[in-house]
Structure 1
């Protein structure tokens, strides 16, 4: 299947009762420069979906948490990916915030590629991520999370 020139993405800042946030460690071997980094749950928006609908679906698929809604977008990020075959894809991501109590995620709804791409999942605090030296994406992720904590 051909990749589109533009991809819409929805991501969820999932916060627990202690302001910890859930991140997934992912690898992108199809990119020109394979990127291993921590991301919030989320993924592509299907043609028939709004960003909010995709956020609800992706949150369930990647964590097992089913919510009725994610409210309004709290942040947006534009970016670009270059694939091994030279294909360049622009991206537009909207971020949503969901509060929950801490729980163990389930992978029973993951797509086949997610079992390859996702290598770890954990709850973080801002100070843990800042001090870890771990790579995360997008660059303003800590700003997005701090904003999510302030408004939720």
Structure 2
């Protein structure tokens, strides 16, 4: 059996008082053209970091949010798919829920530093707009509307909900 090299990352489901979710627009260059994916803020867990340490760092860098408490772990995703993450056989994403008042996201990273991470925009989305979206951009997870609706309507799960691609 061969070992699988997965990139471990943390992501924040940031919901404001009106249940809008903050998403990052990633424009990922590929040989066949650019793929646009809307995903929760976050990123890779560096060597020696805990999940929550990585989450705090990523939120400070990308959106300028400082956490006062440890957010609940709500979703877990494992995707084994060569090419899904450059240099890896896939990803593991652990998602944490953060409830906060609406804010204008602006992290410590410059626009050039964000662009180097393929982030081209940060935007608040209404859940219904995700459900109704029929354009060419993708969401991560692809079925984001479903787990998001369940999280908003049912509240915190007893343990992290497994997600698909």
TM class by smaller structure: 0.7 to 0.9
**Structure 1 residues 107-126: aligned runs within 5 Å:** 107-110=107-110, 112-116=112-116, 117-126=118-127
Please, which runs of 5 or more residues in structure 1 have no aligned partner? none
Partner of 1:140: helix, strand, or coil? coil
- Cα distance in 1 for partners of 2:12, 2:107 equals 17
Count of residues paired in the alignment: 148
What is the match of residue 12 of structure 1? 12
Quote the offset at 1:5 in angstroms: 2.4
1:81-110, Cα deviation, whole Å (9 max, x unpaired): 41798x542211100000111111114325
SS at match of 2:68: coil
CA distance in 1, matches of 2:143, 2:29: 23
Secondary structure in 2 aligned to 1:65?
coil
Alignment partners' CA distance in 2, 1:126 and 1:146: 7
1:48 CA drift (Å): 1.1
**Aligned residue for 1:68?**
68
The partner residue of 2:146 within 128, 143, 147 is: 143
CA distance in 2, matches of 1:89, 1:66: 32
Structure 1 residues 81 and 146: CA distance shift in structure 2, 3 A: farther
TM-score by length of 1: 0.82
Does the 8 A contact of 2:7 with 2:85 survive in 1?
no
Change (3 A) 1:52 1:124: same
Q: Under a length normalisation based on structure 2, what TM-score does the superposition of the two structures give? A: 0.76
Do the aligned partners of 2:76 and 2:93 also contact (CA within 8 Å) in 1?
yes
Q: Is the 8 A contact 1:31 1:83 kept in 2?
A: no
Stretch deviating more after TM superposition (57-66 or 113-122): 113-122
Calculate the aligned-residue CA RMSD, in Å. Answer: 2.7
Inter-CA distance 102–31: structure 2 relative to 1 (3 Å threshold): farther
Q: Unpaired segments of 5 or more residues in structure 2?
A: 157-165
Q: Which residue of structure 1 lines up, in the alignment, with residue 160 of structure 2?
A: none
